[in-house]
Chain A
Amino acid sequence: MKKQLGFYVDAKRCIGCFACAMACKNQYHQASGVVWRQVYPLKEEVYPHHERAFYSLSCNHCEHPACMEVCPAAAYTKREQDGVVVHHQEKCIGCANCVRSCPYGAPRFNPGTERAEKCNLCWQRLDAGLDPACVKSCPTNALRLINLATFNEPNAVQFPPGFPHMSRLNPSTRFRQAELPKIIKPEDK
């Protein structure tokens, strides 16, 4: 398998502190309302302990990206060397077709520049041998950069509940699901 970088989201470790989202914002200074990385709390139907489990998500750098497929201006490319899906701002015509078509809501429309934009997996930092800003900032090591060609975590899942199941796109994000808290009853002591 070719090298394919992606994120490993450890929902068991994530405390929902938004440090990853803030680090992304600090790195790229997106316009107000434009968010490349979002921390989603799991709803009670998925995890019945409200606000105790989260998915930190941005672009999933899919094997077959919907954004790249639908972009009429060919403003998206997928890097050969690591599978990162890059959006080229200068080629974007601002039709927002990618914004509508990505089932994960990764590309966002910037009303200031009138163009779409999204997480580029900090490819400039990668090329300099650094981790992406979000990964570097995570205080609990719940967000990691993985290479799917060598990734070998038996408990990792690709489509946990709460994450849209789009097998044709083959998103590169992998998850460790949150575990239910252990409730210690008085009689257990």
Chain B
Amino acid sequence: MIPSMELPLVFFTLLSQLAIGLTLLYALRTAGPSVQPEASAKTQWFVSAGILAFSLIVSLTHLGHPLLAPRAVLNLSTAWLSWEILIFILLFALMAATAYLGVTRRFVWLTAATGFIALFVQGMVYSPSSFPAIHNVLPFAFFLVTAVILGASTSAWFAPQDTQPLLRWILVGALSAGLLLFLVAPCVWLSGGTVMRLTGLAYLASPLYWAHIVLGLAVPMAVVVVSRRIPSWLPILLLAGALCGRVVFYLDTIHTGVNIGGLQ
């Protein structure tokens, strides 16, 4: 198996997680019983739906035969990938319906719950037994943290002033969790079997991995803590950092096939 950056999948997963993050954060900050829908709610939901639609189109370019894409939902009995496609289409329909028909509490929570399930399904797609390092809950954890980081920072563009402190705390919490997760995971892999250890070594030796840690997690956290606000340019930096991290995820996670003939 030849490792590949899988750029269409990098963009699909990142942008879809950004859209889900926006949805989750909107649901969280309008959760109170007396909170009214925000003035910019419609715009925000159109943006989320647009980003998700764009990511779905990008994902088609990953297929060898994009015109056969409708066949991808034929194996719902066993393939997580079939469920991923189905649930992301459903999520887009819910986002678009919320934007068009009005941002009601019921629609917001239904869409947010669907988004959370979509992240779980996406995590399952990327945890096959052929990648021992991520044959566990880690892909879902990576994707959830990324969605909250990107969602919280981008929400700051739309949210009113009174909810900015909440967004700031959520962002700092998610960045702390992300730092812990992305730093600890490769170190734990070093104590695993051969293929897992090779994955840990590949991550730690990758400049892109450290670019993600520094530019995508540590520096943004310092900026938010010191400035006590979410600067408007921060989502761009976070997206660039997450892009580096996602490329490492596809490129440097080692497949068991690489070490056939040696100890696993």
Contacts and interface: CB of A to CB of B under 8 A. Distances in A.
A139 interface: no
A69 B78 contact: yes
Interface stretch (B69-77, B90-98, B166-174, B200-208): B69-77
A175 interface: no
Given A94-B63, A105-B255, A163 B130 contact: no
Interface stretch (B46-54, B80-88, B180-188): B80-88
A168 interface: yes
Nearest to A55: B261
A162 B260 CA distance: 5
Nearest to B253: A100
Contacts of A104: 256-257, 260
B129 A105 contact: no
B118 to A, nearest CB: 15
B1 to A, nearest CB: 5
A83 interface: no
Interface stretch (A35-43, A118-126, A150-158, A180-188): A35-43
B263 A46 contact: yes
Interface of A: 38, 40-43, 45-46, 55, 57, 66, 68-74, 91-97, 99-105, 109, 113-115, 161-166, 168-169
Interface of B: 1, 62-65, 68-69, 71-75, 78-82, 85, 125, 128-131, 255-258, 260-264
Nearest to A162: B261
Contact of B257 (A46, A103, A168): A103
Contacts of A102: 130, 257
Q: Interface SS of chain A: helix, strand, loop or mixed?
A: loop
A71 B128 CA distance: 12
A91 B260 contact: no
Nearest to B69: A93
Contact of A114 (B64, B71, B263): B64
B263 A73 contact: no
A72 B73 contact: yes
Nearest to B71: A73
12 contacts: A40-B260, A43-B262, A91-B71, A95-B64, A95-B81, A97-B81, A105-B260, A114-B64, A162-B263, A164-B260, A164-B264, A168-B129
B44 to A, nearest CB: 31
Contacts of A100: 1, 128, 130-131, 255
A104 B256 CA distance: 7
A122 B141 CA distance: 42
A103 B130 contact: yes
A46 B262 contact: yes
Contacts of A96: 64
Contact of A94 (B65, B82, B130, B131): B65
Nearest to B80: A70
Contacts of A164: 256-257, 260, 264
A45 B262 contact: yes
A161 B263 contact: yes
Nearest to B68: A93
Nearest to A102: B130
Contacts of B85: 72
9 closest Cβ contacts across the A-B interface?
A: A94-B64, A105-B257, A114-B64, A43-B262, A40-B261, A101-B128, A103-B130, A72-B81, A73-B71
